[in-house]
Amino acid sequence: MSIGSEIYTLIGEICSCGPRWMGTPGATHAINYIGDAFRSKGMEVRLEKFQYLSYRQEVRLEVEGRAVRCEPIALAASTKVPLTAPLVWGGQCAPKELKDLVSQGRSIEDAIVISDNLRTFLAYPNVEDAGGAGFISVTGFQDGIIRCGSARLDRRPGAIPGLSISGREGDAILERLRSGCRLVATMELKGQIEQTEGVNVVVSQPGPRRGKILITAHYDSFWNGVHAMDNASGVATVIALSRLLAKHDGPSIEYVFFGAEELGLFGSHGYVEAHSDKLEEIIAVINFDNFGSSASQLEVGVTEELFEVSKEVAEKHEIQVHYWSCPPRAASDHHCFVQKGVPAVWFANGGSDLHYHTPLDVPEKMDPDRLEQVAIFAHALVRELSR
């Protein structure tokens, strides 16, 4: 069996755990699955605890008195009383876009701002900072599918309520707003945000040379599907690489599976805090998150000190990289290490597959050839960094 086919099979097994939202049985099943995969090889598995903010929310949205199906934005604020406010279209909700709206006489303060930004964790904080009263994310599909998202990635709860709606509903609202209609919506979010305990799954493979390479992925997912691309693909790739690297004779390797990434990088932050006195031992963090579907292009995010060697490895093995981001975008678990000066590489898809964070992210849409390309790249990079 090829490495791509092996990863494809593992993805199906991981997705059989169901949605892996933190604190649910699916997440527990994933933790056990990962542990069993390494214990079967005779390797010791550690569960390292960290603190994170759990999130449960009941939501309601009405536009001009009509109920609209919706999902909560994770870690968005609850409403003490229902919020009723005018709707304003904010596009991607970049700071400049929001400033331009204000200069055009469109009030954002005390309004519910609507965004079609794929990444809610980028748009929501901008709306919050601009004084918006609420936030609505529109999924980029012309049907009833709703994309889930988080309010932020800095481990802070949001200060305003936030919801996601389908593209069908969003387009209907946008059409009315463009025609000059003034629309008023009512949002209600009832729930709780509580500090609780999660675990990272850590497996160490000692090596004869000094230093350590971390190979990482997050095991959690949103509640609205099995999320093969985000991030069963990462978990499966790390497990498959552990087989290829079983006889590795370079520096030590640590396979780390983080929890609560979707809620704001809590697991990786917890790891960095717990191992702060040993970060200087890390040669590189190689992180896998959100890649490998048939619609995915390959993004490689890399810190400056690893850029040239990564490009050389890609060229040598004829890996097609569609996007290089240097430094890597602050959108996954590598970021907590980069902030501390640890070199890192991140394999992702640059947002090229819009099934991200939707129920349409399923194993059948994964591509063994694309998965294999990432695994070959990562394996060769580990070997190069071990010289």
Please determine, for residue 74, whether its predicted confidence score (pLDDT) is greater than 90: yes
**pLDDT tier, 380 (very low <50, low <70, confident <90, very high otherwise):** very high
Please determine, for residue 115, whether its predicted confidence score (pLDDT) is greater than 80: yes
Quick one: average pLDDT of 350-372? Answer: 96
Query: pLDDT tens, 24-59?
Result: 999 999 999 999 999 999 999 999 999 999 998 899
The pLDDT of residue 296: 96
What percent of the chain is predicted at pLDDT more than 90? 95
How far is 20 from 220, CA to CA, in rounded Å? 5
The pLDDT of residue 234: 98
Domain ranges across the chain: 3-54+196-385, 65-182
The pLDDT of residue 304: 98
Q: Residues 87, 185: contact at Cβ < 8 Å? A: yes
Please determine, for residue 222, whether its predicted confidence score (pLDDT) is greater than 90: yes
Domains 3-54+196-385 and 65-182 fall in the same CATH topology = no
- Lowest-confidence pick of 8-12, 17-21, 53-57, 220-224: 53-57
The pLDDT of residue 191: 85
Query: pLDDT tens, 179-214?
Result: 999 999 999 999 889 999 999 999 999 999 999 999
Quick one: average pLDDT of 371-385? Answer: 98
Please determine, for residue 215, whether its predicted confidence score (pLDDT) is greater than 90: yes
**pLDDT tier, 118 (very low <50, low <70, confident <90, very high otherwise):** very high
The pLDDT of residue 250: 94
Query: pLDDT tens, 96-105?
Result: 999 999 989 8
The pLDDT of residue 210: 93
Give pTM, 2 decimals: 0.97
Please name which of 351, 316, 314 lies closest in space to residue 332, comparing C-alpha atoms. Answer: 351
The pLDDT of residue 376: 98
Please determine, for residue 16, whether its predicted confidence score (pLDDT) is greater than 90: yes
The pLDDT of residue 140: 87
The pLDDT of residue 362: 98
* CATH 3.50.30.30 describes domain 65-182: yes
The pLDDT of residue 11: 98
How far is 316 from 366, CA to CA, in rounded Å? 25
**pLDDT tier, 143 (very low <50, low <70, confident <90, very high otherwise):** confident
| 3-54+196-385: CATH class | alpha beta
Please determine, for residue 142, whether its predicted confidence score (pLDDT) is greater than 80: no
**pLDDT tier, 275 (very low <50, low <70, confident <90, very high otherwise):** very high
Query: pLDDT tens, 325-344?
Result: 999 999 999 999 999 999 99
